[in-house]
Amino acid sequence: LPESFLSFLEANGLDPSIYIPRYVRLKPGFEEIESEINCKLEKVNWLPGFYSIPPDVHIARTKAYQQGMMYGIDAASGAAVSALGISPGDHVLDLCAAPGAKLCMMLDLLGQKGTATGVDVARHRLAACRTMLLKYGLAERSRLFLADGTTFSVPPTRFKQWTSRRPYKERKQEAKARAEIIFYGQGSGVIGLKKNELGYDKVLVDAECTHDGSIKHIQKFEQWGWKTLERRVLDAERTDTNLKALQLNLLRNGFRLLKEAGTLVYSTCSLTHAQNEDVVDQFLSENFSAELQEIEMAKDWPCRSGRTPKTLRFDPSTSATSGLFVAKIRKL
């Protein structure tokens, strides 16, 4: 690792030599697959359905993965989804959905009731998300939109009162610019909500970030070049200004789409304060109807408190996971 990144880790209290296992999540009903993947699964006691595996096991080659029994997803990312407290019947929005592992977990938690809407700005990544939904048999109650998460405004329903009185052609053109439907499952539409009930029950804003807490992402710079890391990850101007503005706007829009008494989770896989606590603190200061909540289930999680009370941080040295910041917000 370059000296600049070692200094970055040291400033955040992290040991670069820490051993990080890989994690998988098994689809409900498929717990016995050790003989198939030819290794021992270690159950993650604090997160149902998650297991750690040796880092040299290639799950993509196994039948369990190819047949849609197993997902590759870090345990910290699973914790962010769990923090939403999804219940069957909820209408859930994943505002930065691709490549889709968290969206699939949402749909597994919903079961046969409720819907999940995924939004992403990258077409190729959203195509991968659609492939994943179909592979795991979760497409029926889901829909995907190619859109800017900071301006996306499609509610979880097809409801006449939501539209304006402007000419149909004008509204159609605006909608096309705002969000392109990539996939629409047969059971993903909702009809019959009252106007004041419009909005999502749960919203996940796993925002775009520098990914400096993701071990898997950092390893890519061995091929891309460590100078590229300094420009794309450690550059203070990009981290503190441009990305923070994007993250704040994603959080604002996710909260706008949340129904009253609904729950939003904001997360990033960055270790910096600028992309995490600073964003949440600024958002709370301008939204008096937003209340930061304790994540009750986190009492059993191997994480530490963030700088802002009630927020959480996963990191290699504390959690044996990739880095992840999590904040849970309720709309009053």
Annotation-wise, does 74 bind a ligand?
no
Report whether 133 contacts 183 (CB < 8 A): yes
Annotation-wise, does 148 bind a ligand?
yes
Report whether 62 contacts 53 (CB < 8 A): no
How far is residue 170's CA from residue 220's CA, in Å, rounded to a whole number?
Answer: 45
Prior bond of 99 cis (ω within 30°): yes
State both tokens at 96.
Answer: 């930065």
The set of catalytic residues is 269
| Long-range residue pairs from 29-33, CB within 8 A, at least 24 positions apart, any chain | 30/64, 30/69, 30/70, 33/62, 33/64, 33/69, 33/70
Rg, C-alpha atoms of the chain: 20
Annotation-wise, does 206 bind a ligand?
yes
Query: Exposed/middle/buried for 290, CB within 10 Å: 0-12, 13-18, 19+?
Result: buried
N-terminal to C-terminal alpha carbon distance within the chain: 45
β partners of residue 264: 203, 329
How far is residue 54's CA from residue 304's CA, in Å, rounded to a whole number?
Answer: 25
Q: Write out the binding residues for S-adenosyl-L-methionine.
A: 120, 148, 206
